[in-house]
Amino acid sequence: MRQKKAILISIVTMLTLIVIVVLFYSQKEIGITNKEEVDSLNKVNDEELFLFEQEGKEISIPIKSIPLYEEYLNEQSNRNLEIQRTLYDFLDFHDSDGSTYILLKYSCGTKLYSTLLIKLSNEILSSIALGYDSIFMEAKQSPNPNYAVFLYGQNEGNQVLRNNLLAVDLRRMKLLTAINNEVANNYIDNAIWPITSFNWLNNHMLKIQTADILNSDYNVLLNWYESSMKTKEIQIEFNGE
């Protein structure tokens, strides 16, 4: 009798263990996680950037709606710190839709950062990557005002500043390209020369003042900065509709 009872207890114990194992693996297969994991996941999904305009108006933007920024955050070991270090500028742009334009600055180092242009129009958000590891200096809209040009700079030894320009179609949120390839290489695609000023001539043409020297070697540029800083005019025509 005792032997039968012991066998029965063993069978019940074994069945109980089997049920526990089956339940454990079935939970893993359907994605059941503990409460801490769920809370952490919800926190990431619900993350928002809270931006304040000069008038005190608050704008909240879900981080998941800015894919490039979210991708950057996902690669960081301290996500919250990177969010806290993120900077932004509300741009004084105007269009017929009453859109809001924000320049988001992240991956910040010593005065250098990456930037995204964000457009909020009728609760629809779009964004485009602009400068990387550079300094945003100024932006100007075209007369119509469908386009904008952004001036960036890269500092060498706090004595030499090289610049480049990025032009954006604000309606489509796409980068514009310069018609002349040599001009594009010198003043758009790369920061090679100092650009002391820039202005729109019309909706597709830009006039800039740049260093009037023969080459862009550091010592040559340093001497230019320490002398008369003579400039020459360059005109840049962009492809645009």
Same domain, 179 and 193: yes
Q: Which of 117, 133, 149 is the last residue of a domain?
A: 133
Instruction: Name the nearest CA neighbour of 62 among 44, 36, 38.
Output: 44
Same domain, 126 and 155: no
Residue 185 above 80 pLDDT?
yes
DSSP-based three-state secondary structure for 188: coil
Q: For residue 7, which amino acid is it?
A: I
Same domain, 109 and 145: no
Residue 8 lies inside a defined structural domain of this protein: no
Q: Which of 133, 150, 171 is the last residue of a domain?
A: 133
Q: What percent of the chain has pLDDT over 70?
A: 79
Whole-number pLDDT of residue 63: 94
Angle at alpha carbon of residue 65, lines to 63 and 69, rounded to 5°: 55
Residue 47 lies inside a defined structural domain of this protein: yes
Please name the residue ranges forming H helices in the chain.
2-29, 35-45, 67-74, 79-85, 181-187, 218-225
Residue 216 lies inside a defined structural domain of this protein: yes
DSSP-based three-state secondary structure for 184: helix
Same domain, 54 and 114: yes
Q: What percent of the chain has pLDDT over 90?
A: 63
Q: Measured in Å, how far apart are the chain's first and last C-alpha atoms?
A: 95
Q: Tell me what the mean pLDDT of segment 132-141 comes to.
A: 92
Rounded CA gap, 93 and 147, in Å?
10
Residue 24 lies inside a defined structural domain of this protein: no
Question: What's the whole-model pTM score?
Answer: 0.78
Residue 233 lies inside a defined structural domain of this protein: yes
- Ramachandran region, residue 56 (left: φ > 0; alpha: ψ -120 to 50; beta: rest): left
Whole-number pLDDT of residue 46: 63
Rounded CA gap, 131 and 154, in Å?
10
Same domain, 164 and 217: yes
Same domain, 237 and 140: yes
Q: State how far Cα 218 lies from the chain centre.
A: 29
DSSP conformation letters of 100-120: EEEEEEES--SS-BEEEEEEE
Angle at alpha carbon of residue 141, lines to 140 and 146, rounded to 5°: 155
Sign of CA dihedral 12, 16, 17, 21: positive
Instruction: Count the Cβ atoms, other than its own, within 10 Å of residue 66.
Output: 20
Same domain, 217 and 158: yes
Same domain, 140 and 241: yes
Q: Which of 100, 133, 166 is the last residue of a domain?
A: 133
Residue 35 lies inside a defined structural domain of this protein: no
Same domain, 50 and 77: yes
Number of structural domains in the chain: 2
| Residues of the domain holding 105 | 41-133
Rounded CA gap, 128 and 172, in Å?
10
Residue 101 lies inside a defined structural domain of this protein: yes
Same domain, 235 and 140: yes
Instruction: Name the nearest CA neighbour of 238 among 210, 202, 212.
Output: 202
Instruction: Count the Cβ atoms, other than its own, within 10 Å of residue 23.
Output: 11
Q: Tell me what the mean pLDDT of segment 34-57 comes to.
A: 58
Same domain, 122 and 159: no
Residue 3 lies inside a defined structural domain of this protein: no
Same domain, 142 and 240: yes
Query: Using 50, 70 and 90 to split pLDDT, how confident is the model at 55?
Result: confident
Place of tokens 């904008």: 148
Rounded CA gap, 63 and 74, in Å?
11
Residue 158 above 70 pLDDT?
yes
